[in-house]
Amino acid sequence: MSKRPGDDLESNESLNFKRHKLSKPPLSNSLTLLDIASGKQLQKLLTFSQDPQQSLKNVQAFKSFLDGILASHDSTAQTHILKDYLESQKLILGEEEPLTYLPDIFQTWKFALQSNNENILSAVPSVLALLVRVISNSFDLSTYGKLLGNTLLHKNHQELIKRGLTANKSKEYVISPVLRLLRELSMLDGGALSDNIFRARNFTFQALTRNLNLKYVGVSMEEIRKPSVRTNAVRFVLQLLKYLPTKSKKELLREREIFFVLTRFISGDPPFLVRDILETLKTHIVNDELLPREAKTRILTTGLLEKIISLYRYDKEEEKSETSELSIPDSAHKVLLLICTSLNSGLLLNQSGLYPKGLMVNHVNGNFNDISGPQIHLGLDSIEWIHNYTEKIAVRNVILSDFIRTLRPWSSIKENELILSVFKSAPELIAEYFLSKNSFLPDPKLTAYWVGYSNFVYGTIKLSLPNNFGHEEGYADLPPPLSILMENLLPKQLNRKLLTKSLGQTANKLIAFFVVRILCLAFQKLQAALRMCREASKASCESIWNQYALRVAEVFSKRCPAINVVIASYRRLETSDLFQREAFTKLLTLYYEVLPLSVTEAKSNAPGLIGETMMSIEKIDFTLQNGALRALELENIFRIANLSPGVRWFSRGVNCPISPFLAMLRLSAIASPDAPLLRLKNVLISVVQETQIFQTRPTDSMLDYFIISLRNIMTDDKIEDFYEYIDSCLTRCVATPIKYIFKLEEFLSENNIACHESNISLLPFAMLDQWKFHVKAVDASALQKTALFISQYLGSHTNLVGDKKIIKFLSESFANACPNNSEAQQVMRNYKKFGNEIRNHNYYQVPSRDSKSITATNRTAEKQTPVKVEPCQEIVASEDNNALVRWRKKDVDDVIEDGHIGNLVILLSSRHLSIRREALTQILMFAQNLKDSKFEEKDQIWLLLSELSASAKEIINKSPLPRIFSSFAYHSIGILKDPSHHLFPKINKFLSRSPTWQLDKIPLMYSIMNEPPSSDGKVCSEREWLLNFLLDGLGSEIDLEIFRKRSVFERLLSWYHLDHCQGLQDTILKILVRACSINNASTTLVTRFSVVTWLEVQEALSTNTVLHNLYQDLLKSCNQKRIMRWSRRAIKCKEI
């Protein structure tokens, strides 16, 4: 083969040289293009070229230009250049409807599609997304963004979007730019194009579910600047949820497959994406008030909630910039709480608490309350569903019910908190959860599962019962099913066998402690349930609710362990088990308070516990750190003793250093500020009221002063002789009170002191009686301590007793019995000084959380509701004169239902003649309208008004109608419009007797007082109605005279202590208080009805402050000279 000629070689070299030059011009050209100075240069740069390499480099140059705008702090010049370019592209389109904006860029994109150039297919949508972002940052460019969006969404360019979204799943660099472009367009100008993008979902949603599955597969953490296809797809959907209008958002939420895939891999998503998902779900779905509930529930499914629950175990590291926010598990927990517990979230539905779905509880057969005829009253058993619902319950919150079954509250604190929040918001789910749940507590062992499940049950029982058992409008006529209430009180997993076995654990005392805490809560919840049953029985179906309460207590007592088991477990505890001992004694107290019948049947050995406590009380050091817990334990023991029959408070047992009562006083005196022992004070008050060992005048309590004096003496440990002396005095005072009563009466007679002025108790006389023996038995030091106590105690009386002669006599008697010139004698004679010190002493403040005084604590122990009564002058002022014309504009039904006719009737008792006459005229007019109306119960009300008018005609021209009759008519109207009322027969019978009333007799008074009630069990209700109309009817001297003639006050005073009238005591006192405000009424009450003597007796038996105030007001308002003359100075009236 011949060699190639030399000129051919030169031509080849020349060719190679030219090819080398071909690679350089684009590089130099791109460098000049990066320095763009005008819009024309930018337009020239982006001019369509069929050279793929040149087109790609031009697009990349444009991208660099846009990056420079975003990166620069001052990009005004570059923005103007971009605006000039975008405006020039707009002018090219002319006035006709634009088909393509930025035609060169879109032509380049189409060319890449035709030539299958994936580099350009990736670069063009990427640079367009960047352009949209730049436009979004500038208000002046927003118009061009809309043009670009409309062009992109035009049908001519659908294939471009579709090609990018449906590219092979391995080509992320082609798919992600299109998703970013769609996301940026959906955000543009506050979502102006989001609806257009959604409407074009035939191509904008192409392969969306597939792309949502293309998660990041790298080894390291996904970076926020290099998002995966899934991240871009998720962000695109989230932006649509944020900006779409409500109508379009509802349609988007129908795409369940999209949202299923969106949350499918949420536990593996990077932190920034998880936060975006949770925030969008919370803000733009759950909290979107415009979005209807049915739209929300399409995606708030059990599956979605389970995916969010999986975030509780999310463990991916977050960037440092995110550490100031809530962690991912906490954020997920917050979202779940909102979804599951808010009625506005679309998931939680209104429910009726313990009443299952669809249960009719207000359609009651009348036979439940009133049996007439030979029918058999089955009571609670007549309710066919009362014992049903033992396995499955129909609930309204079905989604939540399915979801909470997937939770594991025993292994996760957040899941435990979540399910308890659901139970609190939807109480109907508690019983349904435990009855349908197959899980159970295994044999008591200190394992993680057992402790976790016990803690979950503890939290569930701690939840309070819903108001009215969940019924919306007050208490229902019928109680909820028994099984549902029992699961709320003590779930079936905690049966008697398991609880008894747990209490018998000796190796692991912590197990027994857990169970005792649970049982304490269960008893307290049972106590609340029984209280609600009592309240419901007052409304309707009294016998049904009472039987239900007994059945609940019976079933509960069979489910919880016997009290003897609890006592046996308590006795096995060591002295050092302070928390356990306090919890056990608290549980025993609840047994006695809530289930006294079960305690009686079990024949518990509680008195033995009290004896053991008294034997060990001297060994307890309350000054140590654990003294507060020991004090609480003893407080519970004494509460048990107070509830146990046959406890001898003032008797010292074998090997007992002091009596139980003195032990309680001592414990109250040494109580630390951390343990005020307020419940122990209630026990003391109960014993004091029973024995009357201290005076009980409510202004101040000598019990308080006794405790304070005792506290000052207890600074010295060696005071056994003092305890023995005080115990002897207390015992003798209780055992032989007659002896000291005679001594008190003898002293009062000798000193001409009235009995009612003496408030002192018998205890000081018993102390004086034993003083001489104590003086002989102890040394001077012990005698001085006892003398100091007595001096302080007597000195505190000077603030309480009406006459100070008694205290002075007692002090001198004590001093004379002391050795002459001894320190004890001097202390006794300085009782006034010590009394002032004790009243001003800082120990007067009983240590408590709110730093209230010991006296205030005593008052709150038996808090009395103050009785407020309007004086007679205010009654007249409260008459509604507008009732004369107000009724004319209303229908007959409204006049009766709204009380206008009642107000009109009251005006017959007005002081003004013109008002009385006009009221009578208006009543007659209304009576005629009523007779012509179609009101169902018109006949009886018309008869009442007619008889009232006929009776009033006789006297209203001379004087007002006695208010007792207008009050009777006022209260009767409300009964006559309801024929089912138990008083309807008696009022109807009264109206049928005569066409007019006798104005010197009180209507229905003797009928209610002397005759049996119309319905069984309505005695108290009838008397309450009578007292209310008597109270409203007592307004003048005329009414008072009628009361006097008909012996009303004698009967009221005799009712005060009747068992069935305990709830009417306040009303009786109100009548007496109102009577005192009438002229000369106080004198009549004293002289004719012996109210003073009656009040003195009641004050001795009660701590009600109203009695004392009434007593003082009575003496102040009466004719004092006449009273002193009538009583022969036995009653001394004082200006107070």
Q: What is the pLDDT of residues 503-528, one digit of tens each?
A: 988 778 889 999 999 999 999 999 99
Q: Which of 748, 750, 844 is nearest to 796 (CA)?
A: 844
Give the tens place of pLDDT for each residue, 525-576: 999 999 999 888 887 778 888 889 999 999 999 999 998 899 888 888 888 8
| Model confidence, pTM | 0.67
pLDDT range class, residue 802, cuts 50, 70, 90: low
Question: Comparing 656 with 18, which gets the higher pLDDT?
Answer: 656
Is 1109's pLDDT higher than 60?
Answer: yes
Q: What is the pLDDT of residue 515?
A: 93
Q: What is the pLDDT of residue 509?
A: 84
SS3 of 368-400: the string is HCCCCCCCCCCHHHHCCCCCCCCCCCCCCCHHH
Mean pLDDT, rounded, for 764-770: 90
Q: Which of 695, 699, 704, 759 is nearest to 733 (CA)?
A: 695
Is 275's pLDDT higher than 70?
Answer: yes
In single-letter form, the type of residue at position 630 comes to: R
Is 992's pLDDT higher than 80?
Answer: yes
Share of the chain above pLDDT 70, in %: 81
- Token representation of residue 815: 């001093």
Q: What is the pLDDT of residue 809?
A: 85
The residue length of the chain stands at 1136
pLDDT range class, residue 1060, cuts 50, 70, 90: low
Q: Which of 540, 131, 566 is nearest to 364 (CA)?
A: 540
Q: What is the pLDDT of residue 7?
A: 44
Mean pLDDT, rounded, for 748-774: 78
Is 733's pLDDT higher than 90?
Answer: no
Mean pLDDT, rounded, for 387-400: 86
pLDDT range class, residue 605, cuts 50, 70, 90: low
The pairs formed by 172-178 with CB atoms below 8 angstroms and a separation of 24 or more are: 172/214, 172/228, 172/229, 173/118, 173/122, 174/118, 174/121, 174/122, 175/211, 175/214, 175/229, 175/232, 176/227, 176/228, 176/229, 176/232, 177/122, 177/123, 177/124, 177/125, 177/126, 177/129, 178/125
Give the alpha-carbon dihedral of 829, 830, 832, 835, to 10 degrees.
-110
Is 867's pLDDT higher than 60?
Answer: no
Q: What is the pLDDT of residue 376?
A: 45
Give the tens place of pLDDT for each residue, 472-496: 888 888 889 999 999 999 998 888 9
Mean pLDDT, rounded, for 780-799: 83
Give the tens place of pLDDT for each residue, 424-437: 999 999 999 998 87
Question: Comparing 1012 with 465, which gets the higher pLDDT?
Answer: 465
Give the tens place of pLDDT for each residue, 875-886: 433 466 677 777
Is 833's pLDDT higher than 80?
Answer: no
C-alpha to C-alpha distance for 466 and 772, rounded to whole angstroms:
63
Residue with structure tokens 């005071």?
A: 719
Average pLDDT of the chain is 80
Q: What is the pLDDT of residue 681?
A: 81
Identify the weakest region by mean pLDDT among 94-108, 220-234, 822-836: 94-108
Mean pLDDT, rounded, for 888-909: 84
pLDDT range class, residue 462, cuts 50, 70, 90: very high
Which residues neighbour 814 within 8 Å (Cβ) at sequence distance 6 or greater?
A: 768, 771, 787, 790, 794, 828
C-alpha to C-alpha distance for 859 and 853, rounded to whole angstroms:
10
Mean pLDDT, rounded, for 650-657: 75
Q: What is the pLDDT of residue 499?
A: 92
Question: Comparing 1054 with 188, which gets the higher pLDDT?
Answer: 188
C-alpha to C-alpha distance for 1068 and 1102, rounded to whole angstroms:
15
C-alpha to C-alpha distance for 480 and 482, rounded to whole angstroms:
6
Q: Which of 983, 979, 976 is nearest to 896 (CA)?
A: 976
Structure letter (DSSP) for residue 1059: G
Mean pLDDT, rounded, for 668-686: 74
Q: What is the pLDDT of residue 854?
A: 26
Q: What is the pLDDT of residue 866?
A: 44
Torsion sign over Cα 736, 737, 742, 746: positive
Question: Comparing 392 with 872, which gets the higher pLDDT?
Answer: 392
Mean pLDDT comparison of 646-660, 711-725, 1028-1042, highest-scoring range: 1028-1042
How far, CA to CA in Å, does 658 sit from each of 652, 755, 891? 6, 34, 76
Question: Comparing 917 with 1136, which gets the higher pLDDT?
Answer: 917
Q: What is the pLDDT of residue 458?
A: 93
Identify the weakest region by mean pLDDT among 311-325, 475-489, 833-847, 1052-1066: 833-847
Is 23's pLDDT higher than 50?
Answer: no
Is 421's pLDDT higher than 90?
Answer: yes
Continuous H helices in 933-1064:
938-953, 963-976, 984-991, 1005-1010, 1019-1033, 1037-1045, 1048-1055
C-alpha to C-alpha distance for 757 and 865, rounded to whole angstroms:
26
Give the tens place of pLDDT for each residue, 774-784: 998 888 888 98
pLDDT range class, residue 390, cuts 50, 70, 90: confident
pLDDT range class, residue 20, cuts 50, 70, 90: very low
How far, CA to CA in Å, does 1071 sit from each of 65, 399, 876, 1044, 1052? 94, 58, 16, 13, 9
The CB density around residue 56, as the number of other CB atoms within 10 Å, is 20
Whether the CB-CB separation of 981 and 975 falls below 8 Å is answered with yes
Continuous H helices in 76-199:
76-92, 103-115, 118-136, 142-152, 158-165, 172-191, 194-199
C-alpha to C-alpha distance for 708 and 700, rounded to whole angstroms:
13
C-alpha to C-alpha distance for 723 and 725, rounded to whole angstroms:
5
Identify the weakest region by mean pLDDT among 26-40, 841-855, 1012-1026, 1116-1130: 841-855
Question: Comparing 279 with 390, which gets the higher pLDDT?
Answer: 279
How far, CA to CA in Å, does 558 sit from each of 209, 419, 494, 499, 876? 57, 28, 12, 12, 59
Give the tens place of pLDDT for each residue, 101-136: 888 899 999 999 999 999 999 999 999 999 999 998
Give the tens place of pLDDT for each residue, 918-948: 888 888 888 888 888 888 888 889 999 999 9
Give the alpha-carbon dihedral of 680, 686, 689, 690, to 10 degrees.
-130
C-alpha to C-alpha distance for 783 and 788, rounded to whole angstroms:
9
Which residues neighbour 119 within 8 Å (Cβ) at sequence distance 6 or greater?
A: 52, 56, 112
Residue with structure tokens 């009628």?
A: 1042
Q: What is the pLDDT of residue 865?
A: 41
- Token representation of residue 601: 């049947």
C-alpha to C-alpha distance for 331 and 337, rounded to whole angstroms:
10
C-alpha to C-alpha distance for 705 and 799, rounded to whole angstroms:
11
Q: What is the pLDDT of residue 708?
A: 81
Helices H, strands E: what count in the chain? 61, 0
pLDDT range class, residue 1068, cuts 50, 70, 90: confident
C-alpha to C-alpha distance for 1131 and 1136, rounded to whole angstroms:
15
Continuous H helices in 595-719:
596-602, 606-616, 627-643, 660-669, 678-691, 702-713
Mean pLDDT, rounded, for 285-298: 90
pLDDT range class, residue 757, cuts 50, 70, 90: low
Domain segments of the chain as ranges: 383-561, 702-861, 864-1003
